[in-house]
Amino acid sequence: MTFSVAGVEQAVRRVRATGADDLSSLAAPRLRELLDEMAALRKETELSAARVAAEIASRSEGVAPSESFARRQGHRSAEALIASVESTSNAAAARLIEIGRLLAEEDAREAEQERLAREAERQAAEEEERARRAREAALRGAGGGGGGGGEGMPLPLPLPTPTPRPVPVLTLRQQARSLVGAAVREGSITGDVASVVLDLIGELPEDELLLQRVEHVLRRARGLRLHSVRKLCWQVIALADPQGWVEREKSQYECRRADLRDNADGTVTLTAVLPPVDAARIKAVLDAGVRRLMAARRDPGQLLSDERTAPQMRADLLVGVFSHMAGCDQPATGVKTTVVVRMTIDQLREGAGVGEIDGVNQPVSVEELRKAAVDSSYLPVVLGGSSRPLDVGRAERAFTSAQRHALVERDGGCSWCNAPPSWCDAHHLDPWSRGGRTDLSNGLLLCRACHTRLHDNHWQIRVRAGRPEFIPPADVDRLRRPVPGGRARFEVERDVVMSEDTRTEERDESGRLRSASGNAAA
């Protein structure tokens, strides 16, 4: 495996060029430049460390224990050795080894391509040499007839034609891994993102759209945080194989559990693993409670200040729910918190595809959504069918419930940070107090933190072609290039990752449902 620190040295030179001897004296643009260069330096250092980790793993696995590099260093595995040196977990060490192996595959592939190119050049030169010698022999035969000696001169024997080595044929998964390796080498994604995309490759069907799906994720992953990349990958898997996603949900349901464990200090740790549809109900109750408590804390008329953190509030809310259940002798009379279930009218009719539940990161099959929609604590929102008017102009100051649902469908949550819809308020881009209309084109979902931060730092916000855009001030970006917001920033394009076969299956399923029931409604 090749190893070089040239990339690290170049990154170090770029860091030094920022003139960062005294951080307090750096102007804001220079400080941002330093942040970018330090990120590039970490990526280059990670690549070098990954190559070393992969080499250690290759010397530690598949050999006799007495010859294992890790065991001779006093560790049971390469992961344990690397984790002890890096002060990290075995899982993180395993990811580093995987990235190193990916880079090694790219090195080997590149070396093979160079060898094939050299061999092609050599063969071309030999062909040219054969052609030259044949031309010279023909000239000697044609010109030697008058002397009587050249006519019988034998032609030179042709050079043997070399047999080229067969070019190795890569499987689609190998080609997809190569795409990830190239992205890591060029620095467009980190090793952690690469690990998530590699897991995606292992779960996707190996069909003609595999490379297109991976390329799409790699393009969208640039500049996103890790949890957003993971959400992207879940969407791609669900759209690529909806039936497989249904089976995954069944497996998630079978894995549900709740445990209580006594801690050494006398506290008790409660852990639970729940399928997304069930977790959404709990999350909605806790988020609504925290939102209410945070709003009350901002009320200047409060006699006592609430110093609890959000996690402490959730804990108190959870205890309150069970305390009520312990002393309640009558069933609840109504639902105070609803969970919004979203699907298109076609999905509702066909019973196929994937939709979403507000506040849940991963997609949910329409089969599960239709089951949830019959529960009174879930509010089904069907998009694309007939609905109430969504634009009310100056008639109302606050956005209506129907408008808010439409904004959630457009923005997905906070248009900037992708926080859950329950954390967000619908804001007027052109303030209502200054004549702004309460219409979708003048509305935007933002969580309170992003709204305050963007407003205070003079970012401009607009909605163009039905998509929110954020325009930074000149001191952040001199060119003031718009940054896409809402779903356009965090979600995949369905048409890019869905195969025609999947669409055909959905249409077929739609026909079967209608013929069996005579009614397309859920």
> Does residue 86 sit in helix, strand or coil?
helix
Q: Report yes or no on 399 lying in a domain.
A: yes
Percent above pLDDT 90 for the chain: 28
Segment among 285-294, 301-310, 465-474 with least mean pLDDT: 301-310
Question: The domain that contains 423 carries what CATH number?
Answer: 1.10.30
Nearest one of 492, 508, 485, 421 to 219, comparing CA atoms? 492
Q: Report yes or no on 70 lying in a domain.
A: yes
Band (pLDDT 50/70/90 cuts) for residue 506 is low
Q: What is the DSSP secondary-structure string of 387-420?
A: ------TTS-SSPPHHHHHHHHHHH-S-TTT---
Burial pattern 125-152, b for ≥16 Cβ within 10 A else e, equals eeeeeeeeeeeeeeeeeeeeeeeeeeee
How far apart CA 440 and CA 158 sit, in angstroms, is 79
Q: Report yes or no on 142 lying in a domain.
A: no
Residue 224 CA: distances (Å) to CA of 219, 232, 236, 412, 451: 10, 10, 16, 16, 20
How many structural domains comprise the chain? 2
Among 99, 120, 140, where does a domain finish? 99
Nearest one of 172, 213, 171, 218 to 194, comparing CA atoms? 218
8 A C-beta contact, residue 460 and residue 477: no
Instruction: Please tell me whether the overall predicted TM-score, pTM, comes out greater than 0.85 for this model.
Output: no
Mean of pLDDT values over 305-317: 88
Which range of 29-33, 330-334, 416-420 scores highest in mean pLDDT? It is 29-33
Percent above pLDDT 70 for the chain: 81
Q: Terminal CA-to-CA distance of the chain, rounded, Å?
A: 58
Nearest one of 413, 412, 415, 409 to 429, comparing CA atoms? 415
Segment among 3-12, 249-258, 273-282, 506-515 with least mean pLDDT: 506-515
- Does residue 512 register a pLDDT over 70? no
> Does residue 307 sit in helix, strand or coil?
coil
**What is the number of H-type helices and E-type strands within the chain?**
19, 11
Task: Express each pLDDT in 153-180 by its tens digit.
Answer: 555 555 555 555 565 678 899 999 999 9
Q: Report yes or no on 401 lying in a domain.
A: yes
| pLDDT on residue 383 | 59
Q: Report yes or no on 134 lying in a domain.
A: no
Mean of pLDDT values over 493-515: 62
> Does residue 54 sit in helix, strand or coil?
helix
Choice between 189 and 149, residue whose per-residue pLDDT is larger:
189
Among 99, 121, 152, where does a domain finish? 99
Average pLDDT, the chain: 81
Q: Report yes or no on 162 lying in a domain.
A: no
Segment among 83-92, 364-373, 493-502, 503-512 with least mean pLDDT: 503-512
Task: Express each pLDDT in 383-424 by its tens digit.
Answer: 554 444 555 565 666 788 778 888 888 888 888 888 888 788
Segment among 116-120, 147-151, 443-447, 460-464 with least mean pLDDT: 147-151
List of residues 6+ apart from 305 with CB closer than 8 A: 297
List of residues 6+ apart from 77 with CB closer than 8 A: 60, 70, 90
Q: Which structure tokens are listed for 404?
A: 């808010």
Domain holding 411, by residue range, is 387-491
Q: Report yes or no on 477 lying in a domain.
A: yes
Task: Express each pLDDT in 337-377 by its tens digit.
Answer: 667 777 766 666 666 678 888 777 888 888 787 777 666 56
Segment among 289-293, 376-380, 480-484 with least mean pLDDT: 376-380
Q: Report yes or no on 345 lying in a domain.
A: no
Among 69, 99, 129, where does a domain finish? 99
Residues in the chain: 522
Task: Express each pLDDT in 237-255 by its tens digit.
Answer: 998 888 889 899 999 999 9
